[in-house]
């Protein structure tokens, strides 16, 4: 009596899926086209015979009770039983693609359209507060003449004369297992099973045409360059008037003349006269929220920063906002008239700064020192 479980290398309580996986693995290894040796051919015949028995519930039950279906040497051509499935062998090598026909039938003319990706340039103010922007683009839309059917109005379609509406044509191929029937898409109707007798003049039978479209896009507050907004159903209409794909809009924030964005904070620089820095003053700054006063403390140094809380960029998906950081640049006068020069000399004399003692610092003071001083 043959040991079919041993031939496949599975246990007697193996599941149908385990038996199928074991057979596929061995079939790939022992196939005559891969392993041309005589021993491999004999082994391939044995594992195929074992699979035929163990994959059939009735034959497996009979075998488990002591009856071997092949004990008398019976079987079909090339030693295989009449119930042997050629598709299992084809599955092992082609993943099921070689089965005859496969029951696929004609394919539909109606297909989903492709997704689209388009850029959208917006101002910094829109990125901060959000808003609505119009986007105009070219895309595929449903043909208004045939309404996606592809046929000229008043005409129809006829069944393909080659495939008789099946969308496939079958052909017989000779293999090592004998004759195997396979199927491929019909070339006459391109697999549709029907032929358009009179294609629409406007879309040439595609059911869609190119057109220019304008939509309004809601831009949420807090977006930044690289943010993508998905608009379902605003992509290209598919062939045959099929459902449209999605439109992805990629945000690009244009450069602002005054403010620079860093994460959710805004930064700007303001030039300040030396006298205003020494005495203190109040500046008026046009922010994205309107005019705001910037208080400059007496004794302000170059590089000091004044923070206007809550005047930065809105955090995406929240209502809170970052800050506006005003960097102060102290300007030293370069041209003085005699009167101005004399006044400064008097000030230097009063402050005992006519010949000041130099105070040297490390070169990196500009980066870390200013941060430390700012915290102080």
Binding residues: 143, 146, 160, 163, 186, 189, 200, 203
What sign has the CA pseudo-torsion 238, 243, 245, 247? Answer: positive
Cα–Cα nearest to 27, from 12, 2, 7: 7
CA 282 from centre of chain: 50
CA–CA dist 196, 147 (Å, integer): 15
Between helix 38-54 and helix 57-64 the angle, nearest 10°, is 100
Binding residues for Zn(2+): 143, 146, 160, 163, 186, 189, 200, 203
CA–CA dist 124, 252 (Å, integer): 10
Q: What is the 3-state secondary structure (H, E, C) of the chain?
A: CCCHHHHHCCCCCCCHHHHHHHHHHHHHHHCCCCCCCHHHHHHHHHHHHHHHHHCCHHHHHHHHCCCCCCCCCCCCHHHCCCCCCHHHHHHHHHCCCCCCCCCCCCCCCCCCCCCEEEEEEECHHHHHHCEEEEEEEEEEEECCCCCCCCECCCCCEEECCCCCCCCEEEEEEEECCEEEEEEEECCCCCCCCEEECCECCCCCCCCEEEEEEEEEEEECCCCCCCCEEEECCCCCCEHHHECCCCEEEEEEECCCCCCEEECCEEEEEEEEEHHHHHHCEEEEEEECCEEEEEEECCCCCCCCEEEECCCCCECCCCCCECCEEEEEEEECCCCCCHHHHHHHHHHHHHCCCCCCCCCCCCHHHHCHHHHHHHHC
């Amino acid at each position: 009596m043959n040991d079919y479980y041993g031939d496949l290398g599975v246990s007697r309580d193996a599941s149908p899926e385990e038996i199928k996986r074991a057979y596929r693995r061995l079939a790939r290894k022992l196939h005559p086209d891969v392993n041309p040796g005589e021993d491999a051919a004999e082994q391939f015949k044995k594992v195929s015979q074992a699979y035929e028995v163990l994959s059939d519930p009735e034959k497996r039950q009979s075998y488990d009770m002591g009856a071997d279906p092949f004990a008398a040497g019976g079987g079909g051509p090339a030693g295989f039983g009449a119930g042997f499935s050629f598709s299992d062998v084809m599955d092992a090598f082609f993943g099921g693609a070689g089965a005859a026909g496969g029951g696929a039938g004609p394919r539909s003319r109606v297909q989903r359209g492709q997704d689209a990706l388009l850029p959208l340039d917006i101002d910094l103010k829109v990125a901060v507060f959000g808003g609505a922007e119009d986007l105009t683009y070219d895309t595929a839309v449903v043909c208004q003449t045939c309404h996606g059917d592809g046929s000229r109005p008043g005409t129809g379609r006829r069944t393909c004369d080659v495939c008789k509406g099946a969308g496939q044509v079958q052909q017989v191929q000779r293999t090592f297992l004998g004759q195997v029937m396979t199927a491929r898409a019909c070339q006459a109707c391109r697999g549709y099973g029907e032929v358009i007798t009179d294609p629409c003049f406007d879309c040439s039978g595609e059911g869609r045409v190119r057109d220019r479209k304008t939509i309004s896009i809601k831009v949420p507050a807090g977006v930044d360059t690289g943010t993508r907004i998905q608009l379902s159903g605003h992509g290209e209409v598919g062939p045959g008037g099929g459902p449209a794909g999605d439109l992805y809009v990629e945000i690009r924030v244009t450069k602002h003349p005054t403010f620079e964005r860093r994460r959710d904070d805004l930064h700007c620089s303001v030039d300040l006269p030396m006298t205003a820095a020494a005495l203190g003053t109040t500046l008026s700054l046009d922010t994205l929220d309107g005019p705001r006063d910037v208080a400059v403390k007496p004794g302000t140094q170059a590089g000091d920063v004044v923070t206007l809380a809550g005047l930065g960029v809105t955090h995406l998906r929240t209502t809170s906002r970052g800050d506006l950081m005003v960097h102060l640049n102290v300007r030293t006068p370069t041209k003085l008239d005699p009167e101005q020069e004399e006044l400064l000399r008097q000030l230097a004399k009063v402050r005992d700064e006519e010949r000041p003692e130099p105070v040297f610092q490390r070169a990196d003071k500009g980066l870390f020192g200013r941060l430390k001083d700012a915290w102080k």
